[in-house]
Amino acid sequence: MTSPLPSFSPASVLDLAPVVPVVVVEDAADAVPLARALVAGGLPAIEVTLRTPAALPAIRAIAAEVPDAVVGAGTVLSPAHVVDSVAAGARFLVSPGWTDALLAAMAASGVPFLPGVSTTSEVVALLERGVREMKFFPAQAAGGTAYLKSLAGPLPQARFCPTGGIGPDSAPQYLALPNVGCVGGSWMLPADAVAARDWGRVERLAREAAGLRP
């Protein structure tokens, strides 16, 4: 049995679970059973990416019907995305990158947010603006664990959720780093399992992912 999470937005997405599932919803009808399977497996923070027309309805359904889930919006690219996502019930926001306009909109949203970075200069720019929690994307392509390890010395105040190319074999290496709070990934949502609506398999894979922190 899962423990109810608070209804307010979390202070930090990075501390909810070792893995944040990155979800692309093609059919909004799948959103609630999919979210229930992830939560039952121990992954309450769920990032629904704004890559399909079903994304906002999916966020709305999860927020209304899965109280133990902390649903967020990913691939947030504009101030309009911020407004629409929060109106749908998103409790955190994730972007692959950031601009000043997007950052201002996310900061004004009232919910936690993880702006995306892939360079040291972007990290420093966010720290200068008072942002200490970030998405590192695309993690594997941008330098992986070696890059993040190098950042920990000069920029220990920055914490990251690496996403992009991470799987169950590499996730523990990221999670062992002092500046990584969690990782994002979609390996617990294989396409064939979602297509078959095999939520039991999704729950099993989620449970394995929830136990990956070293």
Provide the annotated active-site residues.
47, 135
Close Cβ partners of 49 (under 8 Å, ≥ 6 residues apart): 22, 23, 24, 55, 73, 74, 75
Q: What is the maximum alpha-carbon separation in the chain?
A: 47
Decide if 110 contacts 86 (C-beta within 8 A): yes
Local structure of 174: helix, strand or coil: helix
Which of 60, 9, 12, 62 minimizes the C-alpha distance to 38?
62
Distance CA 93, CA 71 (A): 9
The helix (H) or strand (E) run that includes residue 122 is helix 120-128
Decide if 72 contacts 13 (C-beta within 8 A): yes
67 CB neighbour count, 10 Å cutoff: 13
The helix (H) or strand (E) run that includes residue 162 is strand 159-162
Distance CA 124, CA 117 (A): 10
